[in-house]
Structure formats: structure tokens, C-alpha cells
């Protein structure tokens, strides 16, 4: 049947709705059968595993021999492959199939999809790209979002999509990321590098030299479970040693956090409660006390930094009439004057390592706490000493585990090869920017042509008409679902390549099924920053249903353009793995022994051995003239002339306390919505990944919903008991979640972990009504409620933690959870 006949057929017949019943087919009927039982090695963000296969189905999953601290999430791994949310075959949204780019976009998200063949799906995809490039040029297409696609150097799904789509034509890209957008923008001005993605001082040195460790907005025990590459979990051995030292009174650890973190419980360390979003005020109060008690290291400030003199009048209140005294800070932060004064003493006595988490910069003015913390560390004067100074990543991807120093394997190219030209070879963005801050894409869709400030430049929003997503889940990661719906009404076409029926698929027009990482062969770096070795990721089962690897999907797509060879360079999956491995072996020749590829593949792993201890910024400390920082002056910039020249009202030339647009505990907006909602990273997932893992999810859900953690007094005041269903709401949206009442959360603070799947239902409770603006989320996605604003004119970064809400006991007809059961399948 050609396209026209098919569409005619669709239009002429009445449709039957197949609600997900076919999704419950027995699992072992889905994969190829066999009687083998083999152990194979593979890797993932959750660590490395060994798996067996029985009758063609993954059977046992056990942790890798070298992983001494495997995460509990290992119990969810099988469910990543076998779950009811898998995308089984290519599907197209009903009205898009009928009307293409003239479809009724208000229907987008009503979840009605029609199954099509791979050929049809890929040609519809290409036709759409043709139409966009012809009508609008490259500014009409955004394919630049990235995310936590599965690990693997070959099968990086984002690279595959961007290389192939890039061979078709140019498109809008992003700068920065949701993780550290504000931090990675401010710190190059202050410390000369992003710091967040830099290797940190080695844990053994910290354990040896630190007297005090301040965990500031930081929960490493929770967050080190996952890594950007296959995680080794070696950091946990150091955390175990730290726990011992805390018990022996050898190291004092203070966790500055509104909530009792998993790390605080594990270490048995001190917790210092602080009102959310007020950390800059606390830091200023401490700094003020240091100055008034003459505790700061004047020689270090003089020799290694610039601009303390410009900052001091602000601190002392000579500029704005407000001295940033401990008394002043206490009123804002809820931390007592005595404790603030004591912190100034404690931090300047002995060796103090400040370890910043990232959450604190995912808020409005998120640049400020990072800058001010660097100023505090400068005043303490221990930057560049082992166990002293400041770090911004010890909770992430094995940072602090000494690096092996070996060369890691390369990756499949994301960009076009030298000399390759796109089919539509235009770079005319019609006066708009070709790159926009990562979290501002919804604003761009809503207000094309608008010019904003961003990091010293002007960005003019392109008129985006089509989005392509692969390896990221924007209907998880972006803020303010109802605003997103309004933006998506303006798009002509949305294409998503994913393993599962995420909410992003739900709001797409063309959905293509990728297989999981366990259904293809790959290689990975073992231990991101530690770079412990090279791991074989051996295919466990054939791709389920009609899913394909991203490599195969885009090889077929490239073939439609006559560019298959250009895309693959004429190499198969195994050819690529061999090539990446052999290049790595050559780069390590004479330094690290690596066997030939076949031996490696058979043994599953090559070990590079242990790395050496290292202290961040020690070279700068040794000689700031020979080893300057990457800042304009080469010194730590307490005052930045460059930033001051930008003249931003929300990011002046030195760190400053600024009130937030929404803040609890007496701040703006708290009279109407008194509760601060934090949407921290989940303990039992990687963002939205593993939420689909049904059995594992059921170990933590409450009445099938995502938990919302509540303080007992807040719960009681609203007549809520542990286990009740709760409606959480503000002017932006509403969701259902299940109450978990816990003393770990203070009054006025609730937590719903990000990554809870968006499962909107209409007023009638139907999943088809999920496209309605204001629809209730039936599962509990916190981004139904968060604010979509930029951190400031500097970074324009994600500010999800500037968010107030209210909650109540849910009364009303309880809707079914619509998040996980896949689309409403329409057939003739």
C-alpha cells in the first residue's frame, strides 16, 4: 500500500481503539527462544553487571566482580528490558498520519497512535525534515537537546541522531545542560574552569588531611549510585572510611541542607538545617564574621585573588546600607546567630574541604551560591591544599577517585566527517541564533524572534517548527508541563526515538522504537573519572519486537538520502567496536597493556589499574604566575570586571544575595503557596529511567503513585496520613502523589523526585484527555508544577528549585495511572 492509499483507508474507515491489552503478552513469548545459559558482561550508568540468558530471556543479573558497592538499582535492570512501556513498533500520531504538517496540534498528547512499518515511519520522518528545511531552513529545526541516553561509546543515541539528521540539514543546537547550567557558566569567570566536570582532589588525600568537610547541598551517598559511564562505585569505599573517621571524631562532617540526606544518615554526621534557597545569605553571614573576627587569610586573598576590595563594602553594608552580619543572615536563613559565628571559626580552624552539590545552582540566581562559596574558600585560604579548598563534583561519576591516566576509547562521531555536506546545505538562520541556552527552547518556540541576554551575548530565538529527540526525555527534564503543551501546539512535527513510551513520545508525531543497551554490542569506559578500564557490553538478547539499535535506525535513515556509506563509513557494529578498541590500544601502547580485541571481547574487561593521588589547584597554589587559572586575570575573581560590564540586574560584578521570585519561609509568594517543593534526583532511578521497571517501581510507590515526602506536622495540619493520596498544586498545574510522612523533611518543605513519569489524565479521568491544559498528572511528575525561568541573564539555566506549591488530601474519583501503559492504539 502506498502512502496515499493507506491514508485513504484510514480516513474512510472507522477506528477501533486497542487499549494496551496486547502489552501484557507473556514476556518469554516476546524474545527468541533457546535453552542457553551464558554469563555475559555488560555496563550501564548503574554499574557493570554479569547477566545470564535462559530460553532467550535475560535471567539473572549480578554485579560485576570488581564492584564492591553495587547499587540496589541492579534489581530494576531486568525491568528495563521487559516492561509494558516498551515501544514495540514505529507509530504515528493519528491526525499527523492523516494531515501531516497541517494536523490538529491541539490533539497532540491525546495518545492516539497508529502502527506503521519502519519504511513508512522513516520516509515520513525524512519528508518532514524536507518540508521544514524547504519552508524555513535550519532555524525551523531543533535537534540539539541531549540527555542520559544509555552508556556505550558506539551506540550513543544522541550522536547517531545528530549525525544522521545533520547529514540531512543544519539545525538549532543548545549550550549548557540542565545539571550544572548556572555553575558551569559562572565558575570559568571565578576559578577559570567549569569545576563541575573537573577531576577533584583524591579521596585518600581528603581522608588524610581534612579536619572538617562541609557537604553543602550535597548527597553523594545517593547520587554516586549512577555515573556517566559504567560506574565502579569505588567512591563508596572512601565514604565508608569517612564514616569511620566521623565515628572516631577524626573528621567533622556538616551537611548544610534543608533535609536530612541519605548521606547524613549513613555517615552519622551533623546536619545543619537552612531555609531553602537562602545559602548565599548564610555564606555572607559567615564571611562577615570572618572579617569582623579577623579570621580570613589575608595573604592568600592578596596573593591569589582579585577584587576582595570591591566585595568588602557590599559585605559590610557600605554600599547598600545592609551589613551582611550573622544577625542579618540568621533572619533569612533560619540558622542561629551562634551557629553562623561558630561556622566562621570552625571553617578557618584546621583544614576544611567544602563540597558543593549541584542542586543549589538549579534555582533562580543559581550562579550566586557557587561564586560566594568560592569566595568563602578563598577567605579560608586553603584552595590547592590536600583536604582543603572547594570542590563542585565529589558527588558525581567517581570524581575524587584517582584517574588511571590511560587513554579511553573514542566514540561514534556526532558530527559530519571532514568534507561531508548536508543534503540541505544552508546555514541561514534568518537572523536568529543557531545555538540557544539549553533550558530556553520552550521560550523560543513560544516567542520566536525575541532577543534575550545570555552570558554577555544576545540570543535571538529561532522560529522552531520541528523537534527531534533521541536519548533524552524532555517531558521529564523540562519544567512546567502546561507551558510545554502550549508550546507544542505551535510545532508542526515532533519525532522521538526512544526505548519506552515516555511522555515525550506521547507528545510526538512519529515515534521510533530503539532497543535497549542489552540488545546490542558496545564498549564502555569503566568508571567515568576514574577510567579504570574498558568494558565489553555484550548483547544479551536480540532486539525485542520491532525495535532496532540507534545505529541501525539511522543507517536506514541515511540510506533514504543515499548516504548510508557516508554515515557508517562502511563499517558494521562489530567493525566499529574493533576500530574503537584498536585505536585505544594503540594510544595506550607502551603504557597500558591491552590484549587483542578478540581476547578482550572474550574476557569482557581490560583493567588499567589504580591511579595516583592528586590535589586540585595545587599547581596554581605552588605558583600562580606559572600556573594561572583560566580567568581573565589568572587569579580567583571575587569581583569580575567582565560580569560587571554585562550590567545585569540579576548577576552583578560580585556575589550577592537576591530575593527569589518564589521562596518559602516568609519569602515572596509564600502567603498563597507556603510549601517549597524540591524535585531532587531519585534514589531508585536515573531520572525517568527505571521508572518503567514495574516490579522495582512497586517497591517504592504509594497506591501506585510516586511518593511525596512530607513533614509530619504539615501532613497532620492537612489531615493526611502516611499512605494517603495527595493532590499537590499551584497556579501552574496539579498532580497526584502518595504521602510518605517523614521526619527527614522539615516543615514547609516537600520532595517529589524528578523522573516520575508524566501521566496526565483529562477531566473525565481518561488518558486521552491528557492533552488538556491543566490536566491532573496521575502519577506525580514534579515538573507539572515547577517554574520555567532562566537562573539569570548570565546562564539562563534551569531553575526548577524556585518553586512553591500547596497540597491537600485527595478527595474525588481516583484516576488510573496513565503513565506506563503505552498509547491508545488505533487501527481500522
Q: How far apart are CA 246 and CA 234, in angstroms?
A: 19
Query: Interface with Mo ion by CB under 5 A: which range of 50-58, 152-160, 175-183, 528-536?
Result: 175-183
Residue pair 355/218 in contact (Cβ under 8 Å)? The answer is yes
What character string, x for contact with ligand MGD (CB under 6 A) and - otherwise, covers 230-269?
Answer: --------------------------xxxx-x--------
Residues 6+ apart with CB under 8 A from 500: 83, 85, 86, 87, 692
User: Residue 277 CB, nearest distance to ligand MGD (Å)?
Assistant: 5
Residue pair 452/440 in contact (Cβ under 8 Å)? The answer is yes
For position 502 contacting ligand MGD by CB under 6 A, the verdict is: yes
For position 362 contacting ligand MGD by CB under 6 A, the verdict is: yes
For position 688 contacting ligand MGD by CB under 6 A, the verdict is: yes
Q: How far apart are CA 508 and CA 145, in angstroms?
A: 15
User: Residue 746 CB, nearest distance to ligand MGD (Å)?
Assistant: 10
- Of residues 779, 30, 164, the one with CA closest to residue 512: 164
Q: Which CB, 179 or 517, lies closer to Mo ion?
A: 179
Q: Beta strand 760-761 with 824-827: parallel, antiparallel or unpaired? A: unpaired
User: Residue 397 CB, nearest distance to ligand MGD (Å)?
Assistant: 8
User: Residue 342 CB, nearest distance to ligand MGD (Å)?
Assistant: 17
User: Sheet of 824-827: strands edge to edge?
Assistant: 16-18, 824-827, 112-115, 91-93, 510-513, 493-498, 466-470, 141-142
Q: Which CB, 154 or 606, lies closer to ligand MGD?
A: 154
- Of residues 527, 541, 538, the one with CA closest to residue 604: 538
User: Residue 179 CB, nearest distance to Mo ion (Å)?
Assistant: 3
Q: Which CB, 90 or 357, lies closer to Mo ion?
A: 357
Q: How far apart are CA 146 and CA 340, in angstroms?
A: 41
For position 222 contacting ligand MGD by CB under 6 A, the verdict is: yes
Q: Which CB, 84 or 144, lies closer to Mo ion?
A: 144
Site for ligand MGD in 792-811 (CB under 6 A): 800-801
Residues 6+ apart with CB under 8 A from 580: 153, 154, 409, 410, 411, 523
Cα separation values, 826 from 20, 121, 141, 802, Å = 11, 16, 29, 41
Which listed residue (128, 179, 397, 516) binds Mo ion by CB under 5 A?
Answer: 179
Strand partners, 729: 734, 806
Query: Interface with Mo ion by CB under 5 A: which range of 179-187, 546-554, 594-602, 806-814?
Result: 179-187
Q: Residue 49 — left, alpha, or beta (φ > 0 → left; ψ -120 to 50 → alpha)?
A: beta
What character string, x for contact with ligand MGD (CB under 6 A) and - otherwise, covers 395-414?
Answer: xx------------------
Taking the alpha carbons at both ends of the chain, their separation in whole angstroms is 14
User: Residue 797 CB, nearest distance to Mo ion (Å)?
Assistant: 12
For position 786 contacting ligand MGD by CB under 6 A, the verdict is: yes
- Of residues 60, 341, 272, 307, the one with CA closest to residue 190: 307
Residues 6+ apart with CB under 8 A from 683: 222, 225, 262, 753
What character string, x for contact with Mo ion (CB under 5 A) and - otherwise, covers 285-324?
Answer: ----------------------------------------
* Number of amino acids touching ligand MGD (CB under 6 A): 64
Q: Which CB, 103 or 159, lies closer to ligand MGD?
A: 159
For position 541 contacting ligand MGD by CB under 6 A, the verdict is: no
For position 679 contacting ligand MGD by CB under 6 A, the verdict is: yes
Residue pair 443/787 in contact (Cβ under 8 Å)? The answer is no
Which chain residues interact with Mo ion by CB under 5 A? 179
Which chain residues interact with ligand MGD by CB under 6 A? 147-150, 155, 157, 178-179, 216-219, 222-223, 225-226, 256-259, 261, 274, 276-277, 279, 357-360, 362, 395-396, 470-473, 476-477, 497-500, 502, 514, 517, 550, 678-683, 685-689, 754-755, 782-783, 786, 800-801
Amino acid at each position: 500500500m502506498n502512502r496515499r492509499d493507506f491514508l485513504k483507508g484510514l480516513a474512510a474507515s472507522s477506528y477501533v481503539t486497542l487499549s494496551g491489552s496486547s502489552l501484557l503478552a507473556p514476556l518469554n513469548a516476546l524474545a527468541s527462544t533457546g535453552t542457553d545459559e551464558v554469563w555475559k558482561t555488560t555496563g550501564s550508568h548503574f554499574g557493570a553487571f554479569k547477566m545470564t540468558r535462559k530460553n532467550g530471556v535475560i535471567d539473572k543479573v549480578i554485579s560485576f566482580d570488581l564492584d564492591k558497592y553495587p547499587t540496589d538499582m541492579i534489581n530494576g535492570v531486568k525491568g528495563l528490558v521487559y516492561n509494558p512501556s516498551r515501544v514495540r513498533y514505529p507509530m504515528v500520531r493519528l491526525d499527523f498520519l492523516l494531515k501531516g504538517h497541517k494536523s490538529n496540534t491541539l490533539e497532540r498528547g491525546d495518545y492516539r497512535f497508529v502502527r506503521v512499518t519502519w519504511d513508512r515511519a522513516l520516509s515520513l520522518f525524512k519528508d518532514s525534515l524536507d518540508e521544514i528545511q524547504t519552508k524555513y531552513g535550519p532555524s525551523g529545526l531543533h535537534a540539539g537537546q541531549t540527555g542520559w541516553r544509555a552508556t556505550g561509546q558506539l551506540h550513543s543515541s544522541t550522536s547517531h541522531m545528530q549525525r544522521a539528521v545533520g547529514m540531512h540539514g543544519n539545525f538549532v543546537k543548545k549550550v549548557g545542560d540542565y545539571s550544572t547550567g548556572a555553575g558551569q557558566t559562572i565558575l570559568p569567570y571565578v576559578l577559570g574552569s567549569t569545576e563541575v566536570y573537573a577531576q577533584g582532589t583524591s579521596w585518600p588525600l581528603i581522608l588524610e588531611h581534612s579536619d572538617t568537610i562541609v557537604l553543602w547541598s550535597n548527597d553523594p551517598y545517593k547520587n554516586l549510585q549512577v555515573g556517566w559511564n559504567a560506574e565502579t562505585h569505588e567512591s563508596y569505599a572512601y565514604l565508608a572510611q569517612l564514616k569511620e573517621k566521623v565515628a572516631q571524631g577524626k573528621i567533622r562532617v556538616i551537611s548544610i541542607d534543608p533535609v536530612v540526606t541519605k548521606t547524613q544518615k549513613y555517615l552519622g554526621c551533623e546536619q545543619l538545617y537552612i531555609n531553602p534557597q537562602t545559602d548565599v545569605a548564610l555564606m555572607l553571614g559567615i564571611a562577615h564574621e570572618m572579617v569582623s573576627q579577623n579570621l580570613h587569610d589575608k595573604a592568600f586573598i592578596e596573593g591569589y585573588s582579585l577584587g576582595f576590595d570591591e566585595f568588602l563594602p557590599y559585605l559590610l553594608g557600605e554600599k547598600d546600607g545592609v551589613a551582611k552580619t550573622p544577625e542579618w543572615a540568621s533572619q533569612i536563613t533560619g540558622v542561629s546567630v551562634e551557629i553562623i559565628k561558630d561556622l566562621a571559626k570552625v571553617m578557618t580552624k584546621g583544614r576544611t574541604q567544602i563540597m558543593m552539590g549541584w542542586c543549589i545552582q538549579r534555582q533562580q540566581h543559581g550562579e550566586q551560591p557557587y561564586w560566594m562559596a568560592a569566595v568563602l574558600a578563598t577567605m579560608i585560604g586553603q584552595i590547592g591544599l590536600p583536604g582543603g579548598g572547594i570542590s563542585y563534583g565529589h558527588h558525581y561519576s567517581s570524581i575524587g577517585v584517582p584517574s588511571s591516566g590511560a587513554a579511553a576509547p573514542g566514540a561514534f562521531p556526532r558530527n559530519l566527517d571532514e568534507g561531508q555536506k548536508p543534503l540541505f546545505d544552508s546555514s541561514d538562520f534568518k537572523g536568529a541564533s543557531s545555538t540557544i541556552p539549553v533550558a530556553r527552547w520552550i521560550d523560543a518556540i513560544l516567542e520566536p524572534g525575541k532577543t534575550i541576554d545570555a552570558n554577555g551575548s544576545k540570543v535571538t530565538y529561532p522560529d522552531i517548527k520541528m523537534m527531534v529527540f533521541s536519548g533524552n526525555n524532555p517531558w521529564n527534564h523540562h519544567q512546567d508541563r502546561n507551558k510545554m503543551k502550549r508550546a507544542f501546539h505551535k510545532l508542526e512535527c515532533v519525532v522521538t526515538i526512544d526505548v519506552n513510551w515516555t511522555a515525550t513520545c506521547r507528545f510526538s508525531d512519529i515515534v521510533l522504537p530503539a532497543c535497549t543497551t542489552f540488545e546490542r554490542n558496545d564498549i564502555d569506559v569503566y568508571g567515568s573519572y576514574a577510567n579504570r578500564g574498558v568494558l565489553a557490553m555484550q548483547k544479551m538478547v536480540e532486539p525485542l519486537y520491532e525495535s532496532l539499535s540507534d545505529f541501525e535506525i539511522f543507517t536506514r535513515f541515511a540510506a533514504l538520502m543515499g548516504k548510508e556509506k557516508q554515515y557508517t563509513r562502511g563499517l558494521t557494529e562489530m567493525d566499529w567496536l574493533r576500530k574503537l578498541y584498536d585505536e585505544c590500544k594503540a594510544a595506550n601502547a607502551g603504557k597500558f597493556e591491552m590484549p587483542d580485541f578478540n581476547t578482550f571481547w572474550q574476557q569482557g574487561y581490560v583493567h588499567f589499574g589504580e591511579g595516583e593521588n592528586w590535589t586540585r589547584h595545587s599547581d596554581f597554589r605552588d605558583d600562580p604566575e606559572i600556573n594561572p587559572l583560566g580567568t581573565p586575570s589568572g587569579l580567583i575573581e571575587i569581583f569580575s570586571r567582565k560580569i560587571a560590564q554585562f550590567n545585569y540586574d540579576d548577576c552583578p560584578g560580585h556575589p550577592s544575595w537576591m530575593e527569589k521570585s518564589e521562596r518559602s519561609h516568609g519569602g515572596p509568594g509564600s502567603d498563597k503557596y507556603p510549601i517549597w517543593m524540591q524535585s531532587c534526583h531519585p534514589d531508585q532511578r536515573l531520572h525517568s529511567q527505571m521508572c518503567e521497571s514495574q516490579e522495582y517501581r512497586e517497591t517504592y510507590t504509594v497506591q501506585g503513585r510516586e511518593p511525596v515526602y512530607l513533614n509530619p506536622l504539615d501532613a497532620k495540619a492537612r489531615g493526611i496520613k502516611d499512605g494517603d493520596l495527595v493532590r499537590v498544586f499551584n497556579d501552574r498545574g496539579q498532580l497526584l502523589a502518595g504521602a510518605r510522612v517523614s521526619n527527614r523533611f522539615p516543615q514547609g518543605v516537600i520532595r517529589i523526585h524528578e523522573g516520575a513519569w508524566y501521566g496526565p489524565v483529562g477531566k473525565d479521568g481518561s488518558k486521552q484527555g491528557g492533552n488538556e491544559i491543566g490536566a491532573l498528572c496521575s502519577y506525580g511528575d514534579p515538573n507539572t508544577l515547577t517554574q520555567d525561568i532562566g537562573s539569570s541573564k548570565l546562564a539562563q539555566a534551569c531553575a526548577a528549585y524556585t518553586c512553591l506549591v500547596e497540597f491537600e488530601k485527595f478527595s474525588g474519583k481516583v484516576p488510573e495511572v496513565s503513565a506506563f501503559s503505552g498509547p491508545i492504539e488505533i487501527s481500522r
